Structure 1
């Protein structure tokens, strides 16, 4: 450690004070640092470096560190490989990963093979819930049988239920493969043919249908969670001239059945977005007060700030130049030094979760 230091205002700090602070107090101060700052300062000394492997420090960090909602993106190749196919169907393999600590763990394999399933994940500080929904391939005559199964683990109560909860989806639905949005104890996903929003309540293990707004005139509908709200984002393409083409956002109301329009893309933004999208389709992902729209077959990202009510294009990523034909896909991410949910995967009903080094 250096012999001198200074505050943010540039005034030197008295080393006779800060260098003799109790270690417990120093650790508590460091626990308030956001993860990027902690990784910069952990090179000060060996002890600070070792804090990343201290259960007591990681527990304090989970409680005290300020939340930093991020939107992370990964690049899809022009022709992504098929993960599931009728000829190579099998138990899906799901991986839980902390990009900061580089620790990962596989979930136990699902006992039911599925064709292009929809996946939902909700991971808290000491709990984990995963739902898989789709065609369980039970019929050899191309007749869909849509079911879902869930994985639950809770380190606080010791509850552990590996793929032991099964449920049937509503009749006359055709679940879209992909991911789900999670809010207030429910997973939400899209259904096409007929067009609807499906909701799965974790506590009651029950599915229901929610009629979306303007369903006859929507294109590329996508669900996202922002600030605890479920949002439906879609392009509106109504033939009547009195209703201009646009991209609109609706929020699901507290009753869980009605939608209210909360935002409409300004026309000047929509013109540029429409040229970039060119009818290829788009997806959205949200986190806190931010939402991002990614375009299929493109690396362009359009951002919306709910707090400032502002639309803007994200700057080009310098690491993916020349990725012709590739597309960005986003997901909500909050950087944490520890992910206790990873440790839950090694737990069982007789061995409840104990540590924070996940």
Structure 2
């Protein structure tokens, strides 16, 4: 009988993974390290930025940006109210949810009281007693820019080019447009982040100036404004500092009018939003499109009667409180004395109402200022 040999008592010891020699990691080729980091989720990579200076500045490296596949972030409608100290409610239209944003961890302690005056491509522009403060909340970076002159009637922040992680960070600049005045003259000042300097245009006739109750709208290389009655459109070329008056014919039945642009770049569309009626009383709200090369506007929407009755009762025929903005394919009609927003979805051609923010106390009845806010990691300050 064949006997089976006894199993050897010698056992193979369990293997353990030795730690990687730090010297190997220190000699890892730069391009290989960037490819590894580019595969990480953005939230994980942002946490790594605090570990060393190299990781901190890698986010803006052209070679790294060419490899990363960071998905676009959600955009929000942001509410600024004087009684919300450094707190800003955000509405996410995609998920139909409200969030609360706090600026306390980002801004310097001296900025206890700020007034938000403009927003553009991930940047927020605040007004301080003697300066502007530009802020990117995602990168927690800020920059203080001294006023060119005081007082000013309006301020608009404009992105110099579309934000893109594929382009050089030097192209991610911005400009600040500010209208200042004295008893006899008006001036326009423009700050360019790439030169870090203010330039002043020639003084202009305030009769042709913008309506002081609305912000400038950037479209096709110029800032556009509507004048007081008789209503017309005037523009300011950012590159040349030249003022011009449009020959576009506006509807005769206008009682008030605002402008909205769907783009911060040199393309897109320009829309007019206005109340129509007679004897200074608006009976409806309409939207027109201003098409390139045409001298007349084309009506594209009219607010349903029941929705107008509600909005008209809120305004109390004080149309100076009405302002408009563009947000994610929507024309938003707002009022300083109303905590809700009228929304016209251009693609669907439908009207909607954005309900009141649940964080707002019942007694607040004025001071509501809305902005379109799209967080952007690559918006440098």
Q: Into which bin does the TM-score normalised by the smaller protein fall?
A: 0.5 to 0.7
Distance 1:215 1:132, change over 3 A: farther
Q: Which residues in structure 2 correspond to 1:296-315 (within 5 Å)?
A: 296-315=336-355
Separation (CA, whole Å) in 2 of partners of 1:222 and 1:310: 19
Q: How far 1:187 moved relative to its partner?
A: 0.8
Contact 1:174 1:193 in 2 (8 A): no
Separation (CA, whole Å) in 1 of partners of 2:191 and 2:33: 40
Structure index of larger Rg: 2
Distance 1:164 1:23, change over 3 A: same
Consecutive unaligned residues in structure 1, runs of 5 or more: 1-21, 84-89, 155-159, 343-358
Hey, what does 1:54 align to over in structure 2?
A: 56
SS in 2 for 1:283: strand
Report which stretch shifted further, 203-212 or 312-321.
203-212
Q: How far 1:333 moved relative to its partner?
A: 1.8
Q: Quick one: which of 49, 64, 73 aligns to 2:79? A: 73
Q: How far 1:283 moved relative to its partner?
A: 1.0
Contact 2:187 2:200 in 1 (8 A): no
Hey, what does 1:263 align to over in structure 2?
A: 301
Contact 1:51 1:57 in 2 (8 A): no
Hey, what does 1:166 align to over in structure 2?
A: 201
Distance 1:251 1:51, change over 3 A: farther
Hey, what does 1:346 align to over in structure 2?
A: none
TM (normalized to structure 1)?
Answer: 0.68
**What is the aligned-residue RMSD (CA, Å)?**
3.7
Report which stretch shifted further, 297-306 or 274-283.
274-283
Contact 2:130 2:146 in 1 (8 A): no
Contact 1:280 1:296 in 2 (8 A): no
Q: Which residues in structure 2 correspond to 1:1-358 (within 5 Å)?
A: 24-30=34-40, 38-39=42-43, 47=48, 54-59=56-61, 64-65=69-70, 66=72, 68-76=74-82, 93-110=131-148, 112-114=149-151, 116-123=152-159, 124=161, 125=163, 126-135=172-181, 137=182, 139=183, 144-154=184-194, 160=195, 162-169=197-204, 172-177=207-212, 178-210=214-246, 213-214=249-250, 216-227=252-263, 228-238=268-278, 245-255=283-293, 257-281=295-319, 282-340=322-380, 342=381
TM (normalized to structure 2)?
Answer: 0.64
Contact 1:186 1:202 in 2 (8 A): yes
Contact 2:343 2:351 in 1 (8 A): yes
